[in-house]
Structure 1
């Protein structure tokens, strides 16, 4: 694999030296249509869409892949392997143009040789390789804490940010269905899902409010999937990219994204499991009013706060 400079020195100046365009980050909590949104954008000939890289949720590469790192502390081995699929796939594809098992193993070795790197340097390297294409990345973990979102904003202060939203009720249902084997108590899952939705969107809105208006855009995921041609054009106008009919037609085939699958041998992820297993553009129904299921057992105060925020977000 190719690599910029030493295997031990951080690659903090890669972006400046390669002159790649500023990246775009999709900011949203889990289950917010972010994978299909990324796949749509990746259909543009001037965009390279990355799978979930988890670079901002971890400070150093050792935290990401080390046996004693933060990922290892937070997640069981099986789920951790699933989570790391994205970064391994991205490195293999960008460095070698394939995602075979041998290439994935070399991607892991490449990271193991750089455990002292800041994780942001991994993304710097990838952006340098895909330039002059615009790199787009989304990891729900980026907005899970103040620290991870600040790491993103501070390292890429000139990037563009897409605040992607989804109705709180349908988001709750989807979150509660995800990975129940790791959190079996239904009430705990319900409260955790509600908290994730609320705090993530509050965190995103507060952070983006500090940026120039042209540096960020908010889009309801339901609108994008119900009218993908219209909203794809609006997104491209915001990004200053070609929005001709041929380009739009290409974007409306998200199954063509090079990560819209489970890899050559299966078992690889880096995004929404359902989409990667059956990648296609699906319209979604109108989510309806903001009414939470009483069986979830959410406190009235929590429901009131989420309802007010949902109205602010256009629901």
Structure 2
């Protein structure tokens, strides 16, 4: 029997591609006293803990692994100082054969009676990872967070360009467009068969511009209290237990820019769905993205 079997055990997964304001959204929701918001755990990118944290996982650079280190340290010891993180690393290293879902169950159990909330953009970046999530937690609730395609593209370009992963600017732009489009199509397809009460879609721009309007709606869906004092507390995103970069200054588990300055900030209005001609996106891709954006409320 899995540790999550039983009343009140099912987690909530925030599904969104990267650069969707998902870290600040997670920090907002984690301000509720009955929610435990994890950093990015990357749980569904591997079958076992050994695979998740192993050196063969080239994408799993130390900074990316630090989300799961922080979560284990915080839930085991209530601390994320260097010593607690080192002990968390050792604890994980002793369990390479554990299925990653067993690790997730363990963390959910430690977070009870609070509702566990997790977001890793990697979950929706491939069919296999999203399918693994939904198969492991078929009764979970899913929050589909969307962001305007044009502002998302600009953010992705700025985030990916310094890494030098692409042979040309044209290749970067094309990959970014496909990433936004395919991630949301994947999420939409996966959520479609679920009962309507099991998932909710929110525009990030609406939530971050009018949090006092949208937070009560999300909390009502989660069947949680939303009195004004709780909402005030939730707006202090800098108080999220995983805000900042830890005692060492080297821990992440979310968007580095937000973690280093985690106060809630205003964001610009999304504007029309008009793609920059200098990007050189093909007409067919622009049309597909426009149609999808309209279906998402833009």
Shorter-chain TM band: over 0.9
- Between the aligned partners of 2:187 and 2:103, the Cα distance in structure 1 is 23
Q: What 5-or-longer segments of structure 1 have no aligned partner?
A: 1-11
Number of corresponding residues: 296
Deviations 1:207-255 (A, max 9, x none): 1111000000000000001101110000000100001111111001111
Q: What 5-or-longer segments of structure 2 have no aligned partner?
A: none
* 2:30 alignment counterpart: 42
SS, match of residue 29 in structure 1: coil
Deviations 1:241-297 (A, max 9, x none): 001111111001111001010111201110011110101111212111111112212
Pick aligned residue for 2:155 from 174, 192, 195? 174
Deviations 1:95-117 (A, max 9, x none): 11111112111111111111111
Describe how 1:150-169 pairs up with structure 2 within 5 A.
Answer: 150-169=131-150
- Between the aligned partners of 1:219 and 1:139, the Cα distance in structure 2 is 17
- Between the aligned partners of 1:85 and 1:233, the Cα distance in structure 2 is 31
- Between the aligned partners of 2:220 and 2:82, the Cα distance in structure 1 is 39
Q: 1:36: how far off?
A: 0.6
After TM superposition, the score normalised by the length of structure 1 is: 0.91
Kept in 2, the 8 Å contact 1:51–1:86? The answer is yes
- Between the aligned partners of 1:26 and 1:145, the Cα distance in structure 2 is 15
Pick aligned residue for 1:65 from 50, 53, 56? 53
Deviates more, 1:33-42 or 1:282-291: 282-291
- Between the aligned partners of 1:294 and 1:268, the Cα distance in structure 2 is 38
* 2:247 alignment counterpart: 264
- Between the aligned partners of 1:182 and 1:83, the Cα distance in structure 2 is 18
- Between the aligned partners of 1:309 and 1:60, the Cα distance in structure 2 is 35
Deviations 1:117-172 (A, max 9, x none): 11111111000001000000000000011110011111111111000000000000
SS, match of residue 56 in structure 1: helix
- Between the aligned partners of 2:239 and 2:73, the Cα distance in structure 1 is 18
* Matching of residue 230 in structure 1 with residue 213 in structure 2: yes
SS, match of residue 264 in structure 2: coil
* Matching of residue 28 in structure 1 with residue 16 in structure 2: yes
After TM superposition, the score normalised by the length of structure 2 is: 0.96
Deviates more, 1:195-204 or 1:282-291: 282-291
Kept in 2, the 8 Å contact 1:27–1:138? The answer is yes
Describe how 1:1-315 pairs up with structure 2 within 5 A.
Answer: 13-16=2-5, 20-68=8-56, 71-72=57-58, 75=59, 80-179=61-160, 180-184=162-166, 185-315=168-298
Deviations 1:31-86 (A, max 9, x none): 00100110001000000000000001112212211122xx22xx3xxx71111111
Deviations 1:177-219 (A, max 9, x none): 1142242532222111111100000000011111000000000
Structure 1 runs (4+) greater than 4 angstroms displaced: none
Q: 1:20: how far off?
A: 4.8
- Between the aligned partners of 2:282 and 2:101, the Cα distance in structure 1 is 38
- Between the aligned partners of 2:73 and 2:248, the Cα distance in structure 1 is 14
- In the superposition, relative to structure 1, how do residues 122 and 20 fare at CA in structure 2: closer, same or farther (>3 Å)? farther
Deviates more, 1:139-148 or 1:95-104: 95-104
Q: 1:16: how far off?
A: 2.2
Deviates more, 1:154-163 or 1:79-88: 79-88
